[in-house]
Amino acid sequence: MDESRHQSLRHNISLGQFCKKKIAGILRFSLIPMTFLGINAACANMSVYPMEVTLNNQGAAQIQTLSQSGEAQFIKVSIKKIERPATPFEKEIWVKDAVSPSLITTPDKFALASGSQRIIRLISLQPPEKETAWRVYFEAVGSPDELKDKSGQDNKISNQVGINLVWGVLVHILPKNAVLSLRQLTGSEVKNTGTVRIVIREVGICPQGSTGGSCQWKKEHTTVYPDETLILKSWTPAQLNSAHEIRIKYVDQNSKSLNEYAIENTASMF
């Protein structure tokens, strides 16, 4: 993500006035949920970084929250597991109390003072057999009674919930054994038969006896998770069927560089 880890808070007052006018203008004409509004991140009451994380070999990762509010806030963390990610059938399943053997957040609720930062730790106690995707949400909510400052008003936690953006961080949990495998089924349909997601950037068709350099390549930005199928759109089914070999350029999740992979052809296996 290109979002800066640290953003200046010197213009909170003028920025707050700008955001109120902008949001008010939108709400006059629309009832679209706030999570779908194209409001600048600077209008948010906090920032979250990074917006996409992959747990390391020890099953851990960190997310940083930074206050952009003039007063203290109470932040609630919730977890949803993404089923059938990157497909038209994708849906999110809520994890009760933000606790699952596969993914735990700590803390799952906290106070965020004005201008302060907080590190949230993600832990997986049970690595999956195949890669899974999750969404961790951060939302400012009304504070519980035990967190309200009864000694005065200077540092009180705000329990006035107005218009707040909800931040959703995409989380990847990798399996112990990472296997990359992509198989052609029929025509332009391919299936991920491995254990990790494949982030495709280009698809190439290659004549017989060719090397990667003599293949014809076309851009194709898409992702396919384990056990899911995908329709390649950069080439027609006839072009793919007539190719001696189909190759992809994909993003290596460790080095972040582009690597090549030859798609397995089901027909050639019989």
What is the 8-class DSSP label of residue 70?
Answer: S
Predicted TM-score (pTM) of the model is 0.76
Q: Give dist(CA 176, CA 211) in Å, integer.
A: 32
Choice among 49-63, 129-143, 181-195, 216-230 with the minimum mean pLDDT: 129-143
**Token pair in block for residue 210:** 């060719």
CATH class of 46-144+164-173: mainly beta
**What is the structure's pLDDT at 62?**
98
Strand partners, 262: 247
**What is the structure's pLDDT at 141?**
86
Q: Give dist(CA 11, CA 13) in Å, integer.
A: 6
**What is the structure's pLDDT at 143?**
64
Give pLDDT tens digits for 152-190. 444 555 554 445 679 999 999 999 999 999 999 999 999
- The answer to whether residues 147 and 41 touch, using CB atoms and an 8 Å cutoff, is no
- Ranges in the chain annotated CATH 2.60.40.3970: 182-265
pLDDT at 39 over 80: no
Give pLDDT tens digits for 68-94. 888 899 999 999 999 999 999 999 999
pLDDT at 65 over 70: yes
Q: Which CATH code fits 182-265?
A: 2.60.40.3970
**What is the structure's pLDDT at 104?**
92
**pLDDT, mean of residues 103-126:** 93
- Which pairs with CB-CB distance under 8 Å and at least 24 residues apart come from 213-216? 215/245, 215/247
**What is the structure's pLDDT at 98?**
60
**pLDDT, mean of residues 138-163:** 57
pLDDT at 103 over 60: yes
Q: Give dist(CA 130, CA 135) in Å, integer.
A: 17
**pLDDT, mean of residues 139-148:** 66
**What is the structure's pLDDT at 1?**
37
**What is the structure's pLDDT at 121?**
97
**What is the structure's pLDDT at 180?**
97
- Ranges in the chain annotated CATH 2.60.40.10: 46-144+164-173
User: Going by DSSP bridges, is the β-strand pair 189-192/132-141 parallel, antiparallel, or unpaired?
Assistant: unpaired
pLDDT at 99 over 50: yes
